[in-house]
Chain A
Amino acid sequence: MNEKTHLNLASPVNASSVQYAELHCISNFTFLRGASHPEELVARAAELNYHAIAITDECSLSGIIRAHIAAKQHGISLIVGSELQLKDGLRMVLLATNRIAYGNLSHLITIARRNAKKGEYHLTRKEFIAHHPQDCLALWLPQSPKASSPTATQTSTKSEQLQWLAQQFPQRTWIAVALLLTENDHTQLQILQTLGNALNIPLCANGDVHMHQRQRRALQDTLTAIRYGKPLTQLGYRLYPNGERHLRSRQQLGSLYPPALLSETIRIAKHCQFSLDELRYQYPTELVPQNYTAQSWLRHLVQQGIKQRYPKHPPQKIHRSVERELTLVSELNYEHYFLTVHDIVRYARSQGILCQGRGSAANSTICYCLGITEVNPEHMELLFERFISKERNEPPDIDVDFEHERREEVIQYIYRKYGRHRAALAATVITYQPRSAVRDIGKALGMSLDQVDRLAKSIYWWDKNVNEQLTAHGFSPDNPLIQRLLYLVNQLLGFPRHLSQHVGGFIISEGELSHLVPIENAAMPERTVIQWEKDDLEALGLLKIDVLSLGMLTAIRKTIQLINTYAEQTLTFSDIPKEDPLVYDMIQKADTIGVFQIESRAQMSMLPRLKPRNYYDLVVEIAIVRPGPIQGDMVHPYLRRRNGDEPITYPSKAVKQVLQRTLGIPIFQEQVMQLAIVAAGFTAGEADQLRRSMAAWKRRGGLEPFEKKLLHGMQTRGYTEDFAKQIFNQIKGFGDYGFPESHSASFALLAYISSWLKCHHPAAFTCALLNSQPMGFYAPAQLVQDAKRHNVNILAVDINQSEADCTLEAGNSLTLSEYRSQHHALKVNNHCQHKPPQTPPTLALRLGLRMVKGLSTTGINNIVSARQQHTFVDVQDLATRAQLNQKDLETLAAADALTALSGDRYRAYWEISGTENKLPLIPSPRFHETDILLRKPTEGQNIIDDYASTGLSLRRHPVALLRKKLTQRQTLTAKALWQLPNNTHTTIAGLVIGRQRPGTASGVMFLTLEDETGYINVVVWPKVAEQQRRALLQSQLLSVTGTVQQENDVLHLIAKKLEDLSPWLGALTTRSRDFC
C-alpha cells in the first residue's frame, strides 16, 4: 500500500515494458548473509516475470541444485554464478556461460576454499590469474559488501580495480550498478557512468539481492547480528539502512534505473546458456582391464563369484536372476558403479576388514556374487527391479558398512587410488534447529545468555503449545520481544548454517572433480568435502557410494577371531550356520543384550510378541519397531494377523501383490511407495518425489499436495478412506526415519549373525563387544552382568594376568590351544561312549587393562612388555619396571587391579602413594614401614569404587547389598515381579540404566532399571513425569511404585510414584545412558 502513495521523482513506468534479469543474488547458502532459500528466490523471480535469475552465492555453489530444481519447476531460466571478494579488495560476480565456464568457476571456488580454513576462502589476484575462469562473464561490484562505507574506496582505486578486471575479461566485463534508495544513489550512478564512459565498459543493473521479499528484512538484520556475534542494538551502520535488497517488481526497477542498464541485463542473461542438466558424470574407468569392456568385465567377475558361492553347481534360479540383473544394469549403464563398489569391498576383504552392503541395489544376486553382501538372495524374495527401476531412472544406491575401527583404512584407500582431485566426501548441510535458532536469535535480540538458555531448553516441546511452555518457563508469550523471537525463529528454522561432512558418502569421478563441483576443506584435517549434499547428487543423477562405519562389524570380526583361537574348526563370516533354531529360541525370549539392532528396549519388548522364527521375520522385526509403522498403527494389526487373531485380507489383488509378504500390512518404505503407484495411481516419478518429500516434510512441510492426490487417487480406485488415511499417516511417520526393506534385510543378517555368536559363544562375544567399545546400546556393566547370567565366568582386571584387551582364559593354566584339543577329546568321548555327556570346561573372560578408566596407552604397553620378563612382585617393582607415572598407578589402584600385589584397594593406594618416582640406579633395600592401621574396604565401598573406575563390578550387584533394607519397605525384585498377576500394585527399586523418551510416544518416558535379579521396564506417563521430575531425572537408584502389566512375556511397570533412593548408594557413580 505504501508503494502506491510513494512519490517518485521519476515518471511512472509501465511494468510490461521493463525486461529484467537479476544477475546478483545471494541465497541463504551464503551463510548468515542471504535471508531466503534458493527455491524462494527462484519462485519469486518467476512470479515477477523476470527474464532470468542468477544465484550467485559467495564463493559457493552449494545452493545451486535446489535453485536448479525450482527453476525447472517454475519455468524460469537460472544462471549459475558466484560472488567473490579478492583479498586485495576487488569484488565481482562471475557468471557461467557454458559447461567449460562452469567447470572453471567451480575450480576457482575450489582453489579459494582449499586455501583457507573450513568455512572461509582466500583468493588473490595472482591466484585468480593462475586459475583464470575462462569463458565466464564478470560483473564488477563497486560497493563494499558491508553496509557501512558504501563509497569508502576512492575513485582512483576503483578505476584501477575495474581496469584490472576488464583486462582479465575483455569484452566480458560490466559495471554492476545497484540503486538501493540510499541517499547517494544519484551520485553513485553518475560516478559509475563517468567511469564506464572513460574505460568503455558497459553498465548493467543489479539488485544486490539478499532476500526474496521485503518481509525478510528483520531476518536479514538478525543474520547480520549473528554473523557479528553482537546484539542488534550494537550493530549501527553494519546493518543495511533499508530492506531494498529484495527482488523488486519490474515497475519499481523501471522507475529507478535508466532503461539501458535494465536491457543490458537481458543481453548478459542471453550469453549464459549453461544448464546444470548438462553435467554428465563419468565413472572412473581404471577398474576395467584391457581387452574387456565394463560390461564383459562385470560379467566375468560375477561368473567368478558364482563359482565361489556355489562350488558345486549353482541353482538354475541363480543363473536366471544373474542374467536378468546384468541386462538391466547394462541397459542403464551402471556397470562402473558396481565395479567401483566391488573394488572397494575387494580391498577391504584383502585387508581382513569385515563389510556388508545394504541399500536399494545391494540385495541383488550380482551383489551377492560380487561379495558386496552376504544376504543370500535365495533366502529373500526381493526383486532386483524393486530396487533399480528403469522408469524411475534412479541411480542404484549401495551403502557399505565397514568395521568402525577400520573404516578410515578404506577411506584412505579410496583417496590413494583415485586421488584427492577425483574423490571427495559429500557434504551434509547443517541447518538451524529450534534450539540453535532460539539461541542465536535470542542473543541477537539482546537477551541474556541465561534467558536464551532457558528458552532454548523450553523448545523441547516446540511443536505443541508453545505458549504454555513459555509461560511455564517464566516467559510471557505476549511480550513483544518473545513475539519477535518466535516470528524470526519460525523463519530461520531449516536455514543452512554450515557444511559438514556426510557420514561416508563418497563421490568419485573420472576427471577432475573440482570441475564438476567445488571442493572445500572439512573440519577434520586431511578431509575434503564437496559443496553438495546427498540429495543434490541424487537430483542430478550423480552416483555416490556410502562408506559407512558400523561397530557391530568390528565386534563380529573380533568374536570370530577369538573363536578361532579355541574352536575346532575355523569359522568365517559366511559359514555361520543359517537358520539355527536355538538362535531363534534365544531371540524369542528377548535374550538379546549386545546383539545388533534387536537389543534396544523397544525391540526387546517386541520380540516375545512377534516371535521371529526365520530370517525374514527378523527383517520385519527390525523394520516394524520404527516411527513409520508405529505412527501408522501397523504394529498391532500385523501381530494380530500373525497370531491368527485376525483374518489376512487384501483390499485388492494389486495390493495383495505388494503386501503379501507382510500379511497385508505395509511395513517397509518400499511397500508404501508401491502402494502409491498401485493403489493411488502415482507414476514412478511421483512416488519418488513423495519419498523425497517424506524426508523433509517436518522441516519444510510440503506433503499437502501428495496427501490430496493420494487420498483422492485411492478413493477413486475404490479403497476406503480409512485405509487411505492409514497409508498417509504411515508416510508421515517415515519422514522421521524411513526404513526400507533393503536396509532391513542387511541389518537382519547382522542381527542373526550376532545372535548366533551370542548363543553359541557367549564368552567370546562379550569379550569382543567389550573390546569394541564404545558401541551399541549397553554399557560394559550391563554386558558383563548379562554374560554372568549366561554362566560366563568373568575375571577381574589383574596386573599380572590381564592383557591390554579383554581375553579368554581356559582356566587350570591351560592355553587356549590345549583347551581346544581337550575340548575336542571330550566331545569325541561323549560321542563314542553313550554316557551322559560331560560338559566341557567353560572359558573365562579376563577383563583387559583397557577397562581401567584413565589408564594411558603408554602405561598399558609398558605393563604388558615389562611383564614378559617376569610378573611383578610388588608395587615398587611395578612402578619401576613399567615406568608408570603416579596417575597410571592410581588408576590401577582405583580399578582394584593391584590386589595381587597389595591386597586391597586402600593398601594399594597407600603403597603407591609411598613409591618413589625416581628410578633407583641401584636397587636399594626397600623402605619398610611399620605396619599401619588401615581399615579394610567394605563390600559396598568396593562395589562403589569398582563402578567409579571400570564402570562395572564383578562383586555383588549394588542393589543386593540394599536388599534387606528394601525388603523392609516391601520392595520386590525384578524376578519376583513376574509372579504377580496383572494390575497388581507393587514397588520395586533398581539402578536407572536407561532413560528414553521416543519422539513417537508423545512425552512418555521409558526407564530401564536393573537390580540383582534382572531388568524392569518402567513406563512413566507425562503427567506422572511432570509431577515427579526431580526423581525421574536425577535418581541413580530409583524406587517405583505402580501397577504391573504383563502381556506376551513382556512386563511393564506403569509408574505412579517415584522415589529417589540415590543417597543410599553413597558415592556410587553408575551413569545411566540417557537416550532422549
Chain B
Amino acid sequence: MAKPTRLSTTASLLPHSAPEKTQDLTTTVQVAHDTPLWLCIYFPKLALEIFTGSNDTKPAAVILQTKGQYIIQTTSVSAERHGIRPKMTLSAARALYPTLQAHDANPIAQQNTLKKLAHWAQRFTAKVSIEPPQSLILEIQGSVKLFGGVDTLQQKIHQALQRRWHYTANTAVAPTTPASLLLAATGQHPMVNHKTELRSALGSIAIYALPINKKCKKQLNNIGVRTLRDAWRLPTANLARRFGPELTHYFDHLLGKTPDLRDSFHFPDPFMADNELPIEVRSTPLLLIAAQQLTEKLCRFLHNRDASITQCRFELYHGKNTVSTIDIGLRIAARDAQQILILLEEHLNRIKLTTSVTKLTLSAQQIQAYETTTGQLLFEPENKTLTQNHHIETLLEQLQARLGQHAIRHITAVFDHRPEKAHCYLTTGLHSSHNKTPDHNRTIQVQQPQQQLPIQSQQRPLWMLATPERLPQKNNQPWHQGPVTLLTGPERIECGWWSDNSIRRDYYLASDTQGRKLWIYLDLQDTAQWYLHGLFG
C-alpha cells in the first residue's frame, strides 16, 4: 500500500502553512553548525516518466480527469513539439496529434518513486526531504567538503542521476529551501551561495512561477506586478493588507528572513530478527514458541513506528546451510502477532518438517503506515458487516494457508442468457477488492442491482456438459444412444453477438430411449446441428 508514511511527512513550503506550525517540527531537526545550504532536485516530467522512463519516441502525456473531461497534466518533449500543452483537453490535444499516448495520472506511484529517489539520494547527505509532487531537497552544507566543493557535488549528483535513474532533472543550490526549489523549477541560477545574493538572483523570476495561490498571482498581475522584483518594490505592509500575510511570509522564507525548518526523510528500516534455538527442534509447538518471541518483537517494532505489514518471512535454519522459507501473506495490512502465528502454524502443519531446526529468523521488508480499521474500540452495529468480512477474510487466509493459494474457488451466478455463461468460478483472491486502484479509463463500475432470476427459467439441468456434445442425426432426428423424443420447446436463445461467443440456439427438453431427460439444442447459427448440453438429474 502506497500511502505516505507519517515518517516522511515534510513541512509544506506553501505560504499558507503558518510559521508556528513549522516551528513545531524543530524537535527532529538538527540545525547545522553554520548556515545550511540546500540543493533541490526538480523532476519536471516525473508524472510522465514514471510510465515511459526517459524514452521519448512517441508523443505522450499524462491526463487527469476533471469534470468529465480529460485534461493534459504533463507532456513529453515530443508532444510539446506538436503544440500539446498542459491544461489542454485531451480531445484538443488529439486534434493536434491523433495518436497521442495518454496515461492516467498516478500520484501514488509518483510519490513512491520520489521516495525511492530520496532513499537513493541519502548517499550524498543524510538530510534528504521530499517535496511533493516532484522535487527532493538535500541539505549539503555538511557534504560539501567531503565531495570537494559545491560545484563538484552538484556535478556528481547529476552524473549519478543520469547513470541510475534516467529521469529528467534540474538542480539548484541556494541558502534557503524555497529559493532552491524555485531556482530548480525555473531553471535559473543553478547556484546561489549567500543570502545576500538571493534578491538579485530571484528578482527576475515571474510571479506565475511561485508556489502561491492562484488568486494572489492574479491580483499581483492585475496591478502590473510581473516579477519578484516588481513586488519587492512595494511596501510590505500595503502588500500584506491587500493580499494577505501569506504572501509576505513567503517572501521572508524565500529570502531567509525567517528560518525554514524541515524534516528529513527516513526510509523505514526493514525488520529483521533471529532466534538461535538452544536445542534442535522438530516439533511444531516448540517452534511456535520460538516464533512467538520473534513475532512479538516484530509487532512491538511496528507499534513503535505506527506501521503495519502485509508480508513477512520466517526462515528455518537446519544447519549445514539448508534453509526452509515460509512466507506469510496477510490479506489486510496488520500487526497482530496472534494472526501471524496462526498462519505460521497452518503452514507448519502442511510442510511437515523432516530435519530439525537450529535457528529461526523473521524478516519484514515492506513496512507501511498503519491504518486503523474502525470499530476496534467502539464496537458499533454498523461495523458489523465490516468485521464480519474481516472474519471471513481471516478464515480465507487460513484456508489458503492450509490448502494452497489456488485451491479455493467460489461459484457465482452470472446474469447471462447464454447457459454456459450463467455461472462461473472465481478464485477468492480475485474477488478481493483490496489493492485495486481506480481505473480512470473505464466507467465507474456500479454494483449490479439485485436482479430477479426468472423464476421458471430455473428449469436448467443440474449437470451441464463443459462442452456441448454433438449428436448424430438419423432421419433428420437427433440420436443419443437411440432416437431422441422432443418433449417441450423450443426455447430460443440468441445472445452474445457483441462478443466472440455469439449463440443462436433452439433448446428442447427431450428424452432418450432409456428415459433420461436430456437438454439438447439445435444450433441455428450455421450448422443446423444438434447438441446435447445437459442432463436432468
Q: A residues engaging B (CB < 8 A)? A: 1-2, 5-7, 9, 148-152, 181-184, 186-187, 217-218, 221, 231-239, 241-244, 443, 445-446, 448-450, 453-454, 457, 472-474, 484, 890, 893-894, 905-907, 909-910, 913-914, 929-930, 932-937, 941, 1029-1030, 1033-1034, 1060
- Closest-by-CB residue of B relative to A5 is B528
Instruction: Give A473 to B522 CA distance when docked, in angstroms.
Output: 42
Instruction: Check if A241 sits within 8 Å of B492, measured CB to CB.
Output: yes
Closest to B494 in A: A242
Q: Which B residue's beta carbon lies closest to that of A188?
A: B456
The distance from the CB of B154 to the nearest CB of chain A, in whole angstroms, is 32
By a CB distance below 8 angstroms, the chain B residues around A907 are: 223
Q: List 19 extra interface pairs beyond A237-B417, A932-B234, A935-B224, CB under 8 A.
A: A148-B454, A152-B452, A181-B491, A181-B506, A182-B457, A183-B457, A183-B489, A237-B415, A241-B491, A453-B91, A454-B94, A457-B94, A473-B98, A484-B498, A932-B238, A934-B234, A941-B224, A1030-B83, A1033-B95
In Å, the complex CA distance between A1040 and B182 comes to 39
In Å, the complex CA distance between A935 and B489 comes to: 90
A152 to B82, CA, bound (A): 59
Tell whether A242 pairs with B414 under 8 Å between CB atoms, given A2-B528, A910-B223, A929-B238: no
> Contact mask B492-504 → A, CB, 8 Å, 1/0?
1111011100001
Contact A906 B498 (CB under 8 A): no
What's the least CB distance linking A454 to chain B, in Å? 6
The docked-state distance in angstroms from the alpha carbon of A914 to that of B235 is 13
20 contacts between A and B (CB under 8 A): A2-B528, A7-B490, A148-B451, A148-B452, A151-B455, A152-B455, A182-B491, A184-B457, A218-B497, A236-B414, A236-B415, A239-B495, A241-B491, A243-B494, A449-B441, A450-B70, A450-B441, A457-B91, A910-B223, A914-B242
The CA-CA distance from A5 to B453 in the complex, in Å, is: 32
B208 → chain A closest CB, angstroms: 10
Asked if B486 contacts A7 (CB within 8 A), the reply is yes
User: Which residues, 445 to 466 on B, are CB-close (under 8 Å) to A?
Assistant: 448, 451-457, 459
Distance (Å) between the CB of B217 and the closest chain A CB? 13
CA distance A730 to B497 in the complex (A): 43
A933-B102 contact given A182-B491, A236-B416, CB 8 Å threshold: no
Given contacts A457-B91, A890-B222, contact A241 B83 (CB under 8 A): no
Specify which chain B residues have a CB less than 8 angstroms from the CB of A1033 in the assembled complex.
95-96
B442 touches A448 (CB 8 A): yes
Tell me if B456 and A183 are in contact (CB < 8 A): yes
User: Does B507 lie at the interface of the complex (its beta carbon under 8 Å from any beta carbon of A)?
Assistant: yes
Mask of B97-119 contacts with A, CB within 8 angstroms, 1/0: 01100100000000000000000
Give B72 Cβ to nearest chain A Cβ, in Å. Answer: 12
Interface residues, chain B, CB within 8 Å of chain A? 70, 82-83, 90-91, 94-96, 98-99, 102, 219, 222-224, 230, 233-235, 238, 241-243, 414-417, 441-443, 448, 451-457, 459, 486, 488-495, 497-499, 504, 506-508, 522, 524, 528
The 3 residue pairs across chains A and B that have the minimum distance between CB atoms? A236-B415, A906-B224, A181-B492
Complex Cα spacing A759 to B443, Å: 58
What distance in Å separates the Cβ of A258 from its nearest Cβ neighbour in chain B? 17
Contact of A450 with B90 in the complex, beta carbons under 8 Å: yes
**Residues of chain A within 8 A of B415, CB atoms compared:** 235-237
Bound: A243/B417 CA distance, A: 12
Q: Whole-angstrom distance from the CB of B294 to the nearest CB of chain A?
A: 48
Q: Which residues of B contact A183 (CB under 8 A)?
A: 456-457, 459, 488-489, 491, 507
Contact A186 B224 (CB under 8 A): no
Query: Closest approach, in angstroms, between the C-beta of B82 and any C-beta of chain A?
Result: 6
Distance A1 CA – B238 CA, assembled complex (angstroms): 89
Q: What is the CB-to-nearest-CB distance from A205 to chain B, in angstroms, rounded to a whole number?
A: 18
CA A342 to CA B216, docked complex, whole Å: 60
Kindly provide the distance from the CB of A225 to the nearest chain B CB, expressed in whole angstroms. 9
- Docked CA distance A151–B415 (Å): 17
CB of A937 within 8 A of CB of B224, answer: yes
Do A232 and B416 contact each other (CB < 8 Å), given the known contacts A6-B490, A181-B490, A935-B224? no
Tell me whether B102 and A450 are in contact (CB under 8 A): yes
Q: Are B506's CB and A6's CB within 8 A?
A: yes
A932, B235: Cβ atoms closer than 8 Å: yes
A935 with B230: CB separation less than 8 A = yes
* A218, A446, A449, A1034, most chain B CB atoms within 10 A: A449
Bound form: Cα–Cα A241–B492 in Å: 7
Which chain A residues lie closer than 8 Å to B243 at the CB level? 913
By beta carbon, the residue of chain B nearest A9 is: B486
Question: Across the interface, which residues of A come within 8 angstroms of B83, CB to CB?
Answer: 1030, 1034, 1060
With A473-B98, A933-B233 known as contacts, the answer to whether A6 contacts B452 (CB < 8 A) is no
- List B contacts of A152 (CB < 8 A): 452, 455
A906 engages B459 (CB within 8 Å):
no
Chain A residues with CB below 8 A from B486, complex form:
7, 9
For B497, the chain A residues whose CB sits under 8 A away are: 217-218, 221, 484
Q: How far is the CB of A510 from chain B (nearest CB, A)?
A: 48
Kindly list chain A residues whose C-beta atoms are within 8 Å of the C-beta of B453.
Answer: 237
Q: Is the CB of A454 within 8 A of B98?
A: yes
A150 to chain B, nearest CB (A): 6
Q: Give Cα distance in the complex from A237 to B448, angstroms.
A: 12
Chain A residues with CB under 8 A of B524 = 2, 6
C-alpha gap A890/B242 in the complex (Å):
13
B451–A150 touching, CB < 8 Å: no
- Nearest-Cβ distance from residue A484 to partner chain B, whole angstroms: 7
Q: Which of B235, B242, B490, B508 has the most CB of A within 10 A?
A: B490
Given A182-B491, A236-B416, A1034-B83, A914 and B219 contact (CB-CB distance below 8 Å): no
Q: Which A residue sits closest to B493, measured CB to CB?
A: A241
A945 to chain B: closest residue by CB = B222
Bound Cα distance A910, B102 (Å): 43
A242 to B497, CA, bound (A): 11
Kindly state the separation between the CA atoms of A232 and B241 in the bound complex, as whole angstroms.
60
Given A909-B219, A909-B223, verify A237-B454 contact (CB < 8 Å). yes
Shortest CB distance A564–B (Å): 42
When chains A and B are docked, how far (Å) is the Cα of A895 from the Cα of B473?
Answer: 88
Nearest Cβ on chain B to A481's Cβ, whole angstroms: 8
Query: Is A241 a contact partner of B490 (Cβ separation < 8 A)?
Result: no
Query: Chain B residues near A6 (CB, 8 Å)?
Result: 490, 506, 522, 524
Taken together as a complex, chains A and B put the C-alpha atoms of A181 and B507 apart, in Å, by 10
Chain B nearest CB from A14 CB (Å) reads 21
Residues of A within 8 A of B91 (CB): 453-454, 457
Question: B residues within 8 A CB of A7?
Answer: 486, 490, 506, 508, 522
Measured CA separation A179–B90 after assembly (Å): 50
The complex places the Cα of A909 from the Cα of B224 at a distance, in Å, of 9
A913 & B528 in contact (Cβ 8 Å cutoff): no
List the B residue with the shortest CB-CB distance to A444: B498
Distance between A897 CB and nearest chain B CB, rounded to angstroms: 14
Residues of B close to A181: CB separation below 8 A: 490-492, 506
**Given A233-B499, A473-B99: A184 and B94 interface contact (C-beta under 8 Å):** no
Query: Which B residue sits closest to A229, measured CB to CB?
Result: B443
Chain A contacts for B223, CB-based, 8 A: 906-907, 909-910, 913, 934
* Identity of the chain B residue whose Cβ is nearest the Cβ of A936 in the assembled complex: B224
Given contacts A9-B489, A893-B222, A1034-B83, is CB(A150)–CB(B417) below 8 Å? Answer: no
Residues of B within 8 A of A149 (CB): 452, 454-455
Q: How far is the CA of A936 from the CA of B230 in the complex (A)?
A: 12
CB distance from A946 to the nearest CB of B (A): 14
What separation, in Å, do the CA atoms of A1050 and B492 have in the docked complex? 69
- Nearest Cβ distance between residue A466 and chain B, in whole angstroms? 15
Complex Cα spacing A450 to B490, Å: 43
Q: Which residue of A lies closest to B70 (CB)?
A: A450
Q: Which of B94, B415, B454, B493 has the most CB of A within 10 A?
A: B454
Nearest chain A residue, comparing its CB with the CB of B68: A449
B498 touching A232 by the CB < 8 A rule?
A: yes
Contact B455 A234 (CB under 8 A): no
Within the complex, the shortest CB–CB distance from B458 to chain A, in Å, comes to: 10
Assess the A909–B222 pair: CB atoms within 8 A: yes
Residues of A within 8 A of B238 (CB): 914, 929, 932
